């Protein structure tokens, strides 16, 4: 078989594999439609679970920008048996989750099947190539209430404490009462504005997408990922300070200040990450995998 014939055979095989993947994904969506509809209902109905809606487009975006690398993966089919095992185990997860009323396990089943389909058709290497997109997929499963509360409570306390400290530093008489701040005789529930799911996780997801959108060195990427949560908390405090002041001194405009603050948090967080990258570049630290040669 000459090179031209072999190349055509590879192209036809590649198209067949992708068609098989797409067909399998449609079948997964059909078989597990109850899970998908339930997740969608939870994400839309719960104000602190809206972050779930961000995960699929972010995962798809991260996979799309790495899609061209899959061309080098056409000959790699190792580990396909693991994919079939994962697809089979997804039915076990669905049964256990339904039988024992474990909602998170029941919700996780279609995503296990999704990963299994990729491995079965394209090999284990396909998961490694598209890893950033697959890593974030489990966050599509809404966190159980107990875990959500355990995350929310310390975040609320931290947000209230730091906001109180900043206001006192600015000369504002702010007294903390639990997760409330009393300013000018008005109690402001700043802790409720930071319950971990409503703001911190959406910001962390967007920053995760930003970090994996750039050709950064592994060390730089690890550092930025480690800073995602502190940056998100800092952005939230920056929002809470004027919001608390507005509720204490300008209650008629407080809702507008609160909404505007929410909209600027994502660009503020991205701006802080860009600032960190520029600071590292200014310090002549190697940030990108590709370094420009200058005269």
Q: Is residue 288 part of a domain?
A: no
- Pairwise CA distance, residues 63 & 8, whole Å: 26
**Together in a domain, 82 and 171:** no
Q: Is residue 163 part of a domain?
A: yes
Structure tokens at 291: 């370094």
pLDDT for the residue numbered 9? 40
**Together in a domain, 127 and 186:** no
Q: Is residue 1 part of a domain?
A: no
CB 92 within 8 Å of CB 115: no
Q: Is residue 133 part of a domain?
A: yes
**Together in a domain, 36 and 130:** yes
CB 181 within 8 Å of CB 243: no
Q: How many domains does the chain have?
A: 2
Indicate the residue among 89, 116, 142 that finishes a domain.
Answer: 142
**Together in a domain, 166 and 224:** yes
**Together in a domain, 136 and 151:** no
> 44 vs 30, 37, 49, 54, 115, CA distance in Å?
21, 11, 8, 12, 25
Q: Is residue 292 part of a domain?
A: no
* Residue positions counted in the chain: 295
89-92 contacts, C-beta under 8 A, 24 or more apart: 89/116, 90/116
pLDDT for the residue numbered 6? 39
Structure tokens at 295: 């005269």
Indicate the residue among 142, 159, 189 that finishes a domain.
Answer: 142
**Together in a domain, 171 and 251:** yes
- Tens of pLDDT along the chain (295 residues) come to 444 443 444 454 556 666 777 888 888 889 999 999 999 998 888 667 778 888 999 999 999 888 877 766 555 566 778 888 999 999 999 999 988 888 999 999 999 999 998 888 888 888 888 899 999 988 888 877 777 777 777 777 888 888 889 988 888 888 888 778 888 888 877 666 555 556 778 888 888 999 999 888 888 888 888 888 888 888 888 888 888 888 888 888 888 887 888 788 888 888 988 898 888 888 877 777 655 443 3
**Together in a domain, 217 and 111:** no
pLDDT for the residue numbered 72? 63
What is the extent of the structural domain holding 174?
147-282
**Together in a domain, 159 and 264:** yes
pLDDT for the residue numbered 112? 93
Q: Is residue 3 part of a domain?
A: no
Q: Is residue 290 part of a domain?
A: no
- Pairwise CA distance, residues 11 & 275, whole Å: 44
Tell me whether residue 122 is exposed, middle or buried, using C-beta atoms within 10 angstroms of its C-beta: 0 to 12, 13 to 18, 19 or more: buried
**Together in a domain, 125 and 151:** no
Structure tokens at 145: 């209430």
The candidate with the shortest Cα–Cα distance to 233, out of 166, 179, 162, is 162
**Together in a domain, 185 and 87:** no
What is the per-residue burial (b if ≥16 Cβ within 10 Å, else e) of 47-81? eebbbbebbeebbeebbeeeeeebeebeebbebbe
Contacts of 56 (CB under 8 A, 6+ apart): 140
Indicate the residue among 117, 142, 167 that finishes a domain.
Answer: 142
**Together in a domain, 79 and 205:** no
3-state secondary structure the chain: CCHHHHHHHHHHHHHHHHHHHHHHHHHHHHHCHHHHHHHHHHHHHCCCCHHHHHHHHHHHHHHHCCHHHHHHHCCCCCCHHHHHHHHHHHHHHHHHHHHCCCHHHHHHHHHHHHHHHHHHHHCHHHHHHCHHHHHHHHHHCCCCHHHHHHHHHHHHHHHHHHHHHHHHHCCCCEEEECCEEEECCEEECCHHHCCCCCCHHHHHHHHHHHHCCCCECHHHHHHHHHHHHHHHHHHHHHHHHHHHHHHHHCHHHHHHHHHHHHHHHHHHHHHHHHHHHHHHHHCCCCCECCCCCCC
- Pairwise CA distance, residues 258 & 246, whole Å: 9
**Together in a domain, 124 and 190:** no
Structure tokens at 202: 């959406």
Q: Is residue 287 part of a domain?
A: no
CB 162 within 8 Å of CB 154: no
């Amino acid at each position: 078989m000459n090179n031209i014939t072999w190349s055509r055979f590879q192209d036809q095989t590649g198209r067949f594999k992708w068609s098989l993947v797409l067909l399998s994904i449609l079948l997964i969506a059909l078989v597990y439609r109850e899970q998908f509809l339930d997740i969608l209902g939870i994400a839309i109905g719960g104000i602190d679970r809206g972050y779930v809606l961000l995960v699929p487009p972010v995962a798809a975006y991260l996979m799309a920008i790495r899609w061209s690398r899959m061309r080098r993966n056409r000959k790699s089919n190792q580990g396909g048996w693991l994919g079939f095992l994962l697809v089979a185990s997804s039915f076990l997860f669905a049964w256990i989750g339904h039988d024992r009323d474990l909602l998170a396990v029941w919700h996780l089943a279609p995503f296990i099947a999704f990963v299994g389909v990729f491995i079965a058709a394209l090999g284990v290497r396909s998961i490694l190539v598209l890893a950033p997109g697959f890593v974030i997929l489990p966050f599509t499963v809404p966190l159980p209430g107990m875990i959500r509360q355990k995350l929310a409570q310390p975040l609320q306390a931290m947000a209230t404490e730091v906001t109180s400290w900043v206001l006192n530093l600015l000369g504002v008489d702010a007294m903390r009462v639990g997760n409330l701040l009393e300013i000018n005789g008005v109690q402001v529930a700043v802790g409720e504005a930071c319950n971990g799911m409503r703001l911190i996780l959406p910001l962390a997801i967007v920053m995760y997408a930003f970090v994996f959108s750039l050709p950064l060195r592994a060390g730089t990427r690890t550092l930025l990922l480690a800073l995602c949560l502190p940056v998100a908390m800092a952005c939230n405090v920056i929002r809470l300070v004027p919001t608390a002041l507005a509720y204490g001194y300008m209650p008629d405009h407080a809702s507008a200040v609160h909404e505007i603050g929410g909209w600027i948090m994502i660009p503020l967080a991205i701006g802080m990450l860009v600032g960190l990258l520029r600071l590292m570049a200014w310090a002549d630290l190697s940030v990108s995998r590709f370094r420009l040669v200058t005269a």
